[in-house]
Amino acid sequence: MACRFDDLGWFQFKRLCTTILEAAGIEQDQWYGRLASAVAVVTDGLDVPNVRTLPGPTVVLVAWVRQRGHPAARLRALVDQTLDDWHQHAPRSLAVVTNAGVAVDALAVDGVETVVLDAAWLSDAVEAGPNLRLREPALLGACDLPDLVREELRGLARVFVRTRAYELAVAALVRHGFAVLTGPPEMGKTAIARMIGLAKLTDGWELHECLRPDELWSSFARDRAQVFVADDAFGSTEYRPDAAERWSVELPRVLQAMDERHWLIWTSRPAPLKAGLRRIHREHGVERFPQPAQVEVDATDLSVEEKALILFRHAKAAALAERDVALVQTHGWTIVDHAHFTPERIRRFVERLPSLEADRDLEDVVAEAIREPTAAMRASLRALPPEYRSLLIGLLDVPPGPVGDRDLAAATRRHARTGLSAPLAELVDRLADHFLRRIGEGEVTWVHPSWRDLLIDELAGDDDARGAFLRMCSLDGLLLALSTEGGAAGERVLPLLRRDADWDLAAEAAARLIPALDEPATTRLLTALREARATAGGVELDALSGEALRSVARRWNARGEPAPVGSLERWFEVAATLERPPERPDVARTWIELLPTVSLDLTSSEERAQLDEWLALTSVLRLYAPVALVDFEFPERQVETTRAIVAGARAALCDPESRRELAELMRRLGRTIPAVADDAFDLADELAGDQPKEPATTALRPLSEELQRLLEAPFAPTRGDATLVAHVLRDL
């Protein structure tokens, strides 16, 4: 089995070699890494498989070198540097494991017996080691595969990266013959299952992919080694919410059939697995059947190194031109650190690179390619039955972030044109891991932000669905319609207000909702209007804003209660943007309610908050309604009161917790009432005086033996995440 180890790059080559050398007794924690090499020292010598036994101490050097230029010279320099670093061990032998075709004479060192374990030796190890191919699946993309392997799997092998989820799945299969891969779409669940199947295929096993249990049973043979991949949820054109239940029902029979020569890998949601295992444990006991945690593998999280290697493998397999390689290397951290990174989107991004125009900003291209939903995502959303779609639309009509089941149920019923065929919890469960995920007990959120963006785009493009949403929406739905800077790149503005009919429905929604809003909700609406007017314009937005302001003012006036200062400020901010603003609300009741008195006790946090609110109100009115301050005879009528407040504030000096807050209040009071400014500023300076703090001391602990050993090893530069990505991509 000839292998192209140059395709692996340093990071994967090192992992392969250290795995192979475990057979020679070198454990993973014995290796010390540099940027282009790894070294282990074996005191008692090394028995090199299929070569000979080397006398100890033996220095083992793993080195991947580029074939361009002078690989022999670079490898020679690495050998000399390594022997110099480890000279204190007085090595008698040296084993160099490398991808380069370099003769042993070129690396010989006087007094040190040297062997070169090159690509031919490594290829023999790969061909003779089916478990090695299972542990290190990247090999399958760098080696010649049997003719029976279909092209789809060959292409997957060229870009696949072993992840933590892959390792856990293999461990579950070895122990139980069964593993369940969970997580959102595009995270590689199906790829993991297929690569495990491909590795076993090279060991003489059969690989069968099946959507339904009956397909498994039609292929099952007790006398043949077989691996089954059950991909129950993710087709290329649809998402079948109830498909997992078929496997759950068949789980007892399936598990009884699985053994060391029959494996099943199921990509599913956690709930059907747990329900099926609960039923098995109830009916058959727990002794012979695994617990969910023993077979469930979450494919969600990818480390920075795994993401970097995924990008590397896709770019390497694409055989990019020099310009495109440079673009990937230059912007590697931007790509890897993107919030919407998935293996599928990286594949799409790399495919687009050769067609990029030279003058395009790659930052924009990265954002476009990675944030945009894939065709499979759009297809699965559009294929959803109406009640599931209503549930997702309901999730647009609640506050952002995790939402409780009760609030989601209410929103779903608002938007469901027909009744629900099952309890909400059951519907959520069927969408979990693909569209939704559970957060703790009784809360639901999107499995990935791009699902929300996609649904908004779909809703925005459907006149009937958009109108139905606006007709039934709550405040949160109206805020979505008025939102700006939405979407992954902040490009979405007023997404649900596309035509005159939409504006009419939005105005009706505002008129329906405003009379019943509490003050925090009122502030949210006014803030949304302010932000919308800062970004967009037009007579429709003018009309909606003006009518909303009139409705809010009428409600405040009718209730005869003081309005929160924050809400008043938002009201005036929106009104100031209108050519013909509505009549302002009556602010007299708010002024009277907040107006401080000489008995104000500033040792009380509640009364300090009242003074803070009054000062804020005076700032708002000075800016937007100065005539109101004239009516209130401000500031003349407040001079004596505020002078008494400053004098009384000195009593708060004994309360260290309030000193800084009170100092800021005094400064604001001085700026608001010039007649008391000198006394207020003097008191603020006195209050703000800080006492020096004692420096903190820490007792040093003795170093552990492990840390001492690491410190005594030759220096290996540490790498931050961005640097790690750069080092992975330099091997392109």
Would you say residue 316 has pLDDT above 80?
A: yes
Task: Give the distance from CA 299 to its chain's centroid.
Answer: 13
Task: Give the distance from CA 582 to its chain's centroid.
Answer: 45
The domain spans of the chain are 5-128, 144-298, 304-376, 591-687
pLDDT for the residue 233:
43
The two most distant CA atoms of the chain are separated, in Å, by: 102
End-to-end CA distance of the chain: 24
Q: How far apart are CA 424 and CA 436, in angstroms?
A: 13
Would you say residue 712 has pLDDT above 60?
A: no
Helices and strands of the chain, counted as H and E runs: 36, 15
Could you give the C-alpha distances from 96 to 16, 17, 279, 503, in angstroms and in order? Answer: 14, 11, 55, 73
H/E element, 126? helix 119-128
pLDDT (mean) for 351-379: 71
3-class state of residue 316 by DSSP: helix
93 pairs with which residues across the strands? Answer: 58, 113
Residue 442 pLDDT level (bands cut at 50, 70, 90): confident
Q: How far apart are CA 128 and CA 652, in angstroms?
A: 82
Under a CB-based contact definition with an 8 Å cutoff, are residues 686 and 653 in contact?
yes
pLDDT (mean) for 495-519: 94
Nearest-CA neighbor of 368 among 236, 487, 493? 487
* One-letter amino acid of 170: V
* Mode of pairing for the β-strands spanning 93-98 and 58-63: parallel
Q: For the chain, what percent of residues have pLDDT higher than 90?
A: 43
* Mode of pairing for the β-strands spanning 178-182 and 296-298: parallel
Would you say residue 156 has pLDDT above 50?
A: yes
Between 278 and 559, residue with greater pLDDT: 559
Nearest-CA neighbor of 342 among 303, 370, 380, 305? 370
pLDDT for the residue 717:
45
- Minimum mean pLDDT range among 584-593, 617-626, 688-697: 688-697
If you average pLDDT over each of 50-54, 227-231, 541-545, 606-610, which comes out highest? 541-545
Sign of the CA dihedral with 467 first, then 471, 473, and 475 last: positive
Nearest-CA neighbor of 48 among 24, 14, 28? 24
pTM: 0.67
What is the per-residue DSSP string for 478-545?
HHHHH--SBSTTS-B-STT--SHHHHHHHHHHHHHHGGG--HHHHHHHHHHHHHHHHH---HHHHHHH
Under a CB-based contact definition with an 8 Å cutoff, are residues 140 and 158 in contact?
no
* Mode of pairing for the β-strands spanning 178-182 and 443-446: unpaired
Between 701 and 560, residue with greater pLDDT: 560
Under a CB-based contact definition with an 8 Å cutoff, are residues 33 and 17 in contact?
no
Name the token pair of 4. 């192209």
Burial of 42 (0-12, 13-18, 19+ CB in 10 A): buried
453 contact partners, CB below 8 Å, separation of at least 6: 371, 373, 486, 487, 488, 492
Write 633-640 long-range contacts (CB < 8 A, 24+).
635/672, 635/673, 635/674, 635/675, 638/595, 638/596, 638/673, 639/673, 639/675, 639/676, 640/598
Residue 732 pLDDT level (bands cut at 50, 70, 90): confident
* One-letter amino acid of 357: E
pLDDT for the residue 500:
94
Under a CB-based contact definition with an 8 Å cutoff, are residues 530 and 552 in contact?
no
Would you say residue 501 has pLDDT above 90?
A: yes
Would you say residue 562 has pLDDT above 60?
A: yes
Would you say residue 358 has pLDDT above 80?
A: no
Under a CB-based contact definition with an 8 Å cutoff, are residues 535 and 484 in contact?
yes
pLDDT for the residue 509:
95
* pLDDT tens per residue across span 567-610: 999 999 999 999 999 999 999 999 999 999 988 888 888 888 99
**Averaged pLDDT of the chain:** 85
446 pairs with which residues across the strands? Answer: 436
* pLDDT tens per residue across span 96-115: 999 888 888 888 888 899 99
Nearest-CA neighbor of 397 among 415, 378, 377? 415
The position carrying tokens 């901010």 is 573
pLDDT for the residue 720:
78
pLDDT for the residue 408:
92
Could you give the C-alpha distances from 254 to 65, 220, 284, 294, in angstroms and in order? Answer: 48, 10, 14, 16
* pLDDT tens per residue across span 636-684: 999 999 999 988 887 666 656 678 888 899 999 999 999 999 999 998 8
Residue 234 pLDDT level (bands cut at 50, 70, 90): very low
Between 298 and 370, residue with greater pLDDT: 298
Would you say residue 274 has pLDDT above 80?
A: no
Under a CB-based contact definition with an 8 Å cutoff, are residues 35 and 727 in contact?
yes
Task: Give the distance from CA 47 to its chain's centroid.
Answer: 45
113 pairs with which residues across the strands? Answer: 93
Nearest-CA neighbor of 312 among 732, 695, 629? 732
Would you say residue 273 has pLDDT above 60?
A: yes
61 pairs with which residues across the strands? Answer: 39, 96
Q: How far apart are CA 677 and CA 475, in angstroms?
A: 44
Under a CB-based contact definition with an 8 Å cutoff, are residues 523 and 559 in contact?
no
Under a CB-based contact definition with an 8 Å cutoff, are residues 156 and 150 in contact?
no
Pick the CATH number of 144-298 from 1.10.3470, 3.30.1370, 2.40.50, 3.40.50: 3.40.50
What is the per-residue DSSP string for 590-659?
HHHHH---TT--TTSHHHHHHHHHHHHHHHHHHHH-HHHHHHTTTTGGGHHHHHHHHHHHGGGGG-GGGH
Q: How many CA atoms lie within 13 A of 601 on its CB side?
A: 5
Any idea what DSSP says for residue 4?
-
Q: What phi, psi does 64 have (nearest 5°)?
A: -105, 125
Q: What phi, psi does 106 have (nearest 5°)?
A: -70, -15
Q: What is the 3-state secondary structure (H, E, C) of 325-342?
A: HHHHHHCHHHHHCCCCCC
If you average pLDDT over each of 345-354, 486-495, 580-589, which comes out highest? 580-589
**Count of CB atoms within 10 A of residue 261's CB?**
14
The position carrying tokens 């961005």 is 722
pLDDT (mean) for 399-407: 88
Q: How far apart are CA 208 and CA 159, in angstroms?
A: 21
* pLDDT tens per residue across span 276-296: 777 776 666 555 667 766 777
